[in-house]
Amino acid sequence: MRELALLQHIYGNNTLLPECITIPPGDDMGGIQIGDTHLLVSTDQLIEDVHFNAQTPLEFIARKAVARNLSDVAAMAATPVGAVATACLPKRMHQAQAYQLCDEMRRWSERYSCPLFGGDIAIAGSKLHIALTVFAKPGDRGAVRRSGAEPGDIVFVSGQFGGAWTGPSGPVSRDFTFEPRIELARRLAEHPDFQVNSMIDVSDGLARDFKRICEMSGVFGQLDGSLVPVHSSAHVAASGDGLPAFIHALKDGEDYELCFTVSEEAASGVLKEIEGVPITRVGRILETATRLHAGEIQILGVDGEILSINDLGWEHHI
């Protein structure tokens, strides 16, 4: 099955949604107006043998379930308010493990000021499945969308990219211990010197997720591979398969860092670091008048050459 085609099919019906739906499917969170409240909602699954395995400690399964959703909240520069969860527990799970999982889900939700206040539990099958739904309220300037990038914008990222599943050493890899950039995003979005035009959290790889900004904004984007901050884990990954580390940083995913755009005039005001996390300029939205390139991206290699899809080691078109 082609997941991308299915998503396009769903987005194609967005026009059928009523007016109260302020943000339809296709962004990091959905939005709905209920009375005076603009409610943002994100829902995400964590599935055994897809996102974790039977050996992953329950603490880190719970943490990832919560943190992944909160990374979507960060991508809109919103503030979490609460969550509900479903869990389908495998029949092999012991009572004590089930208690622990529920306790850890509650603990990690609390940690991010996002209290878990409802849910549904089933006991069935052989694989653990968790679905978490998180509610948030937008900041004073409103939710930051994927669709707001403008020609001329400068592209920034938080943190470093690549090889998230390779390390650092410890019981689990970085894709289980990342911090959702909620506070960082809020400080970006509320900064008096610039406005964040568009933002996304990077879960499927920097290039892929930046392309989503370009698609939703109808612009032509460029990432400069020589500027992308490369995580030490990307070098570990590179030593394993021979691909350059910066290619891993562009394509690997599970980084849960932010990618955002700011107008060229305001870009010099963007801080170099927020809460100890570096903010790095990695590209720009090109000034192009042609519709031909809307939604497309161009990636430059370390010597400024334009890379082809094959250079990125992708099996499928991004």
Segment contacting a copy of itself by CB under 8 A, of 9-17, 138-146, 231-239, 281-289: 9-17
Closest residue by Cα to residue 72 from 163, 181, 156: 181
Residue closer to a copy of itself, measured from CB, 113 or 239 = 113
Among 137, 187, 281, 293, binds a copy of itself (CB under 8 A): 137
Question: Site residues for a copy of itself, window 27-46 (CB under 8 A)?
Answer: 29-32, 34-37, 39, 41-45
Helices (H) and strands (E) in the chain, counts: 7, 13
In eight-state DSSP terms, residue 224 is E
Residue pair 27/12 in contact by the 8 Å Cβ criterion: no
How far lies 313's CA from each of 51, 85, 221, in Å?
A: 22, 36, 20
Distance CA 114, CA 206 (A): 27
Among 110, 273, 275, 287, binds a copy of itself (CB under 8 A): 110
Shortest distance in whole angstroms from residue 43 CB to a copy of itself: 5
Q: Which residues of 18-46 are buried (b: 16+ CB within 10 A; e: fewer)?
A: eeeebbbebbbbbbbeeeeebbbbbbbeb
Residue closer to a copy of itself, measured from CB, 9 or 141 = 9
**11 binding a copy of itself? (CB under 8 A):** no
Among 111, 120, 168, 275, binds a copy of itself (CB under 8 A): 120
Per-residue mark of binding to a copy of itself, 75-94 (x: CB under 8 A): ------xx-xxx-xx-x-xx
Place of tokens 């035009």: 197
Distance CA 185, CA 188 (A): 5
Q: Which residues bind a copy of itself (CB under 8 A)?
A: 1-3, 5-7, 9-10, 13, 16-18, 20-21, 23-25, 29-32, 34-37, 39, 41-45, 47, 49-50, 81-82, 84-86, 88-89, 91, 93-95, 98-99, 102-103, 106, 110, 115, 117-125, 127, 129, 131, 133, 135, 137
